[in-house]
Chain A
Amino acid sequence: MNLWLLDASILLASEDPDDQHHGDSRRLLEGSDPLATLDLVFYEVTNVAVRSWHDHSAARRLRNRVTAVADDGGLVRADAPLLESAAGIADENGISVYDAAYVAAARALHSQLVSCDVRDLVSRGLALLPGDTVTRLSNREDGIPG
């Protein structure tokens, strides 16, 4: 049983059929592994849905999805210790404190961060793509270790 920590891109990809990670993100959200996220995600998904998509229905659905994830594996609070950790991760990896906060949240829960952000997170080994988690889940159900 893996605990996955989701960043905003996973929730947004699940709501956008045009995104290349849409299908994998939906499979992750509808899968059996426990999921958690960071409180920052409420702001980030609403920001994109309202300011870029101009889609208030999507914004409402996204907030409900975040709540459903929070009721499952939890909603990590971006407090002073987490931001202290995020600042170190941001410095070390040359990424924004926003992205680093998700990495810090995943580490705080001893979980794995999942993101569609290849440039700053996946390429640095700080996160997995949703497709990678779905593959691991399928392998586990088929009895393949990994």
Chain B
Amino acid sequence: MAKVMVSLPDDLLQAVDIEAGRRGTTRSGYLRELAEETLRRRSTRRAERMAEIDAEDGPITGHGGDVAELVKANRPEH
């Protein structure tokens, strides 16, 4: 696990330490949880958005497959 140096304002660091203590974890552990939670929330939102997009603009229909070859066939060199 990498160790990093982070600059925080004094009052924010104090708030982090108080919350970490309240949760029974360390400063590093709490900051790690916050980072993971922020990233997870973003990915969860993306996953939810995919389900919403399914309902947009009518039903999804089949197009014959082989999409990797279709990508190449539509490039300008062809």
Contacts and interface: CB of A to CB of B under 8 A. Distances in A.
Contact of A48 (B42, B51, B70): B70
A69 B67 contact: no
Given A8-B71, A9-B71, A51-B74, A32 B56 contact: no
A12 B42 contact: no
Nearest to A54: B63
Contacts of B8: none
B23 interface: no
Interface of A: 1, 7-9, 12-22, 26, 29-35, 44, 47-48, 51-53, 55, 57-58, 60-61, 64-65, 68-69, 71-73, 96, 98, 115-119
A92 B42 CA distance: 36
14 contacts: A7-B71, A9-B68, A12-B70, A12-B71, A16-B60, A19-B63, A32-B44, A60-B56, A61-B54, A61-B57, A64-B49, A71-B46, A72-B46, A117-B71
Given A1-B39, A118-B68, A30 B51 contact: yes
Contact of A72 (B43, B61, B73): B43
A12 to B, nearest CB: 4
B36 to A, nearest CB: 7
Given A57-B57, A57-B58, A18 B64 contact: yes
A72 B61 CA distance: 26
A17 B78 CA distance: 26
Contacts of B12: none
A24 B57 CA distance: 23
Interface of B: 36, 39-40, 42-47, 49-51, 53-54, 56-58, 60-68, 70-75, 77
Contacts of A31: 43, 47
A88 B71 CA distance: 22
Given A8-B71, A98-B75, A53 B63 contact: yes
